[in-house]
């Protein structure tokens, strides 16, 4: 997404990502990846849950994550073992969502250029 940040700026639009990670982990990720957009903390995926975009990681997958050192409670600051369903929302200035791409398969994401097209259509 950061590849299209400048294109979005032409429309006075910006990128904001929600993540269940703690602010400390968000800051580290921002620095490590040189992100040019903000990561906002969503503790316990509470906002994602309100949008119907939260799921609990099954115990067998928790074991796999732990084996790779991806201990969600450490990164997210809670023991919920929840993750957000990947989603991309485009909202207008009044906060109304005008475009959405949501897929439970985290490997399928919309092309960043689609976001620019959706913003341009507002």
State pLDDT tens for residues 15-43. 899 999 999 999 999 999 999 888 999 99
Where along the chain do its domains lie?
A: 2-117
Non-local (6+) Cβ contacts of 47 within 8 A are: 18
CATH homologous superfamily of 2-117 equals: Glutaredoxin (3.40.30.10)
Non-local (6+) Cβ contacts of 108 within 8 A are: none
Q: What is the mean pLDDT of residues 45-63?
A: 95
107 pLDDT exceeds 90? no
Element holding 25 (H helix, E strand): helix 23-33
């Amino acid at each position: 997404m950061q590849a299209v940040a400048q294109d979005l700026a032409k429309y006075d639009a910006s990128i904001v990502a929600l993540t269940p990670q703690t602010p400390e982990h968000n800051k580290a990720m921002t620095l490590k990846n040189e992100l040019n957009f903000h990561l906002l903390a969503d503790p316990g995926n509470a906002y994602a849950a309100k949008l119907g975009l939260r799921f609990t990681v099954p115990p067998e997958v928790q074991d796999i994550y732990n084996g790779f050192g991806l201990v969600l409670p450490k990164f997210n600051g809670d023991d919920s073992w929840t993750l957000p369903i990947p989603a991309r929302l485009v909202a207008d200035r009044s906060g109304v969502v005008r475009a959405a791409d949501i897929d439970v398969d985290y490997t399928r994401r919309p092309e960043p250029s689609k976001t620019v097209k959706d913003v341009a259509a507002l």
